[in-house]
Structure 1
Amino acid sequence: MAEPPRDIVLVMTDQQRADLTAREGFPIDCTPTLDGLATTGRWFNRAYTTTPLCVPARISLLTGRFPSAHGVLGNNGYDDPVRGPDLIDVLGKAGFRTALVGKNHSHLTPDRLDHWVEYSHFGRVPAIAATGRDREFDDWLRANPGTTPRPTPFPLEHQLPVRIVDEAISWLDSAAPEERSFLWLSIPEPHVPYQVPGPYFLAPDAVPPAATTFDVLKDRGFDWRYAGQLAQRSGEADPDLLARARANYVGMLRLVDDQLARLVAHLEETGRLESTLFVHVADHGDFAGEYGLMRKGPGLPEVLTRIPMLFHGPGVRADVRPSPAHVSIADVLPTLCELVEQPVPEGTQGRSLVPLLTDPDAPGFLSVYAEQGYGEPLDEDALGDRTPGLRETASGGVAVDTVNEVTQSGKRRMIRAGRWKLLATANATQLFDLDADPFELHDLAGRTELAATLRQLQQELERWSVTD
Structure 2
Amino acid sequence: MADADADTRPNVLFVLTDQERYDPSAPDGPPVETPTMDRLSSEGIRFERAFTPISICSSARASLLTGQFPHGHGMLNNCHEPDAIRTNIPDELPTFSEELVAAGYDLTYTGKWHAGRDRTPADFGFSYLGGSDTHHDDIDEAFREYRRERGTPVDEATLEEEIYTGEEPRDGDEGTFVAAKTAVDVAETRAYFLAERTIDAIESHADGDRDGPFFHRTDFYGPHHPYVVPEPYASMYDPDEIEPPASYAETYDGKPRVHENYLAYRGVSDFDWDIWAEALAKYWGFITMIDHQFDRILDALEEHGLAEQTVVVHASDHGDFAGSHRQFNKGPLMYDDTYHIPLQVRWPGVADPGATSEAPVHLHDLAATFLEIADVPAPDSFDSRSLVPILENGGDPPDGVDWADSSFAQYHGDEFGLYSQRMVRTDRYKYVYNGPDIDELYDLAADPDELHNLIDHPEYEDTRSALRERLIEWMHETDDPNRVWVSGVLENAS
Instruction: Name the TM-score, length of structure 1 as normaliser.
Output: 0.86
In the TM superposition, what is the alpha-carbon distance from 1:199 to its structure 2 partner?
0.8
Indicate yes or no: 2:203 matched with 1:190: no
Q: How far apart, in 1, do the equivalents of 2:158 and 2:270 lie?
A: 18
Indicate yes or no: 2:456 matched with 1:446: yes
1:310 to 1:135, Cα distance in 2 relative to 1, 3 A: farther
Indicate yes or no: 2:446 matched with 1:436: yes
The 3-state SS of whatever aligns with 1:435 is coil
2:155 to 139, 143, 149: 139
The 3-state SS of whatever aligns with 1:311 is strand
Letter of the aligned partner of 2:218 in structure 1? L
2:388 to 341, 354, 378: 354
The 3-state SS of whatever aligns with 1:170 is helix
1:214 to 1:456, Cα distance in 2 relative to 1, 3 A: closer
Given that 1:133 and 1:158 are in contact with CA atoms closer than 8 Å, whether structure 2 keeps it comes out as no
The 3-state SS of whatever aligns with 2:223 is coil
In the TM superposition, what is the alpha-carbon distance from 1:359 to its structure 2 partner?
0.2
Counterpart of 2:31 in structure 1 is 28
Please tell me the root mean square deviation across aligned C-alpha atoms, in Å.
Answer: 2.5
Q: How far apart, in 2, do the equivalents of 1:135 and 1:190 lie?
A: 25
Counterpart of 1:253 in structure 2 is 287
In the TM superposition, what is the alpha-carbon distance from 1:174 to its structure 2 partner?
1.1
Letter of the aligned partner of 1:228 in structure 2? L
Q: How far apart, in 1, do the equivalents of 2:440 and 2:91 lie?
A: 31
Indicate yes or no: 2:214 matched with 1:181: yes
1:301 to 1:100, Cα distance in 2 relative to 1, 3 A: same
The 3-state SS of whatever aligns with 1:450 is helix
The 3-state SS of whatever aligns with 1:179 is coil
Counterpart of 1:324 in structure 2 is 358
In the TM superposition, what is the alpha-carbon distance from 1:219 to its structure 2 partner?
4.8
Counterpart of 2:318 in structure 1 is 284
1:226 to 1:446, Cα distance in 2 relative to 1, 3 A: closer
1:410 to 1:235, Cα distance in 2 relative to 1, 3 A: closer
The 3-state SS of whatever aligns with 2:61 is helix
Counterpart of 1:266 in structure 2 is 300
2:122 to 107, 111, 114: 111
Counterpart of 2:246 in structure 1 is 211
The 3-state SS of whatever aligns with 1:322 is strand
Q: How far apart, in 1, do the equivalents of 2:16 and 2:348 lie?
A: 19
Q: How far apart, in 1, do the equivalents of 2:157 and 2:318 lie?
A: 22
Comparing 215-224 with 288-297, greater Cα deviation is found at: 215-224
Letter of the aligned partner of 2:226 in structure 1? P
1:319 to 1:172, Cα distance in 2 relative to 1, 3 A: closer
1:4 to 1:307, Cα distance in 2 relative to 1, 3 A: farther
- Paired-residue identity, %: 30
1:126 to 105, 121, 140: 140
The 3-state SS of whatever aligns with 2:448 is coil
Aligned length: 433
The 3-state SS of whatever aligns with 1:136 is coil
Q: How far apart, in 1, do the equivalents of 2:264 and 2:128 lie?
A: 44
Counterpart of 2:202 in structure 1 is 172
Counterpart of 1:53 in structure 2 is 56
1:215 to 1:436, Cα distance in 2 relative to 1, 3 A: closer
Counterpart of 1:405 in structure 2 is 416
Comparing 287-296 with 126-135, greater Cα deviation is found at: 126-135
1:425 to 1:340, Cα distance in 2 relative to 1, 3 A: same
1:451 to 1:339, Cα distance in 2 relative to 1, 3 A: same
1:29 to 1:344, Cα distance in 2 relative to 1, 3 A: same
Comparing 236-245 with 270-279, greater Cα deviation is found at: 236-245
In the TM superposition, what is the alpha-carbon distance from 1:443 to its structure 2 partner?
1.8
In the TM superposition, what is the alpha-carbon distance from 1:438 to its structure 2 partner?
1.9
Deviation string 1:445-468 (CA, Å, 9 cap, x unpaired) is 333333222222111111110112
Which blocks of at least 5 consecutive residues in structure 2 are unaligned?
1-6, 80-85, 163-175, 481-494
In the TM superposition, what is the alpha-carbon distance from 1:218 to its structure 2 partner?
5.7
Letter of the aligned partner of 2:140 in structure 1? P
1:14 to 1:277, Cα distance in 2 relative to 1, 3 A: same
1:84 to 1:141, Cα distance in 2 relative to 1, 3 A: farther
Q: How far apart, in 1, do the equivalents of 2:259 and 2:133 lie?
A: 28
Letter of the aligned partner of 2:177 in structure 1? G
Counterpart of 2:187 in structure 1 is 157
Letter of the aligned partner of 1:88 in structure 2? S
Counterpart of 1:75 in structure 2 is 78
1:240 to 1:231, Cα distance in 2 relative to 1, 3 A: farther
Given that 1:224 and 1:298 are in contact with CA atoms closer than 8 Å, whether structure 2 keeps it comes out as yes
1:40 to 24, 39, 43: 43
Deviation string 1:389-415 (CA, Å, 9 cap, x unpaired) is xxxxxxxxxxxxxx5224xx3211111
Counterpart of 1:464 in structure 2 is 474
Letter of the aligned partner of 2:390 in structure 1? L
In the TM superposition, what is the alpha-carbon distance from 1:306 to its structure 2 partner?
0.7
Given that 2:131 and 2:193 are in contact with CA atoms closer than 8 Å, whether structure 1 keeps it comes out as no
Given that 1:414 and 1:424 are in contact with CA atoms closer than 8 Å, whether structure 2 keeps it comes out as yes
In the TM superposition, what is the alpha-carbon distance from 1:419 to its structure 2 partner?
1.0
Q: How far apart, in 2, do the equivalents of 1:121 and 1:43 lie?
A: 34
Counterpart of 2:69 in structure 1 is 66
Letter of the aligned partner of 1:32 in structure 2? P
1:82 to 1:65, Cα distance in 2 relative to 1, 3 A: farther
Instruction: Name the TM-score, length of structure 2 as normaliser.
Output: 0.81
1:72 to 1:356, Cα distance in 2 relative to 1, 3 A: same
1:106 to 1:455, Cα distance in 2 relative to 1, 3 A: same
Letter of the aligned partner of 1:12 in structure 2? L
Letter of the aligned partner of 2:427 in structure 1? G
In the TM superposition, what is the alpha-carbon distance from 1:141 to its structure 2 partner?
6.8
Counterpart of 2:110 in structure 1 is 101
Given that 1:71 and 1:82 are in contact with CA atoms closer than 8 Å, whether structure 2 keeps it comes out as no
The 3-state SS of whatever aligns with 2:15 is strand
Letter of the aligned partner of 1:62 in structure 2? L
In the TM superposition, what is the alpha-carbon distance from 1:204 to its structure 2 partner?
0.6
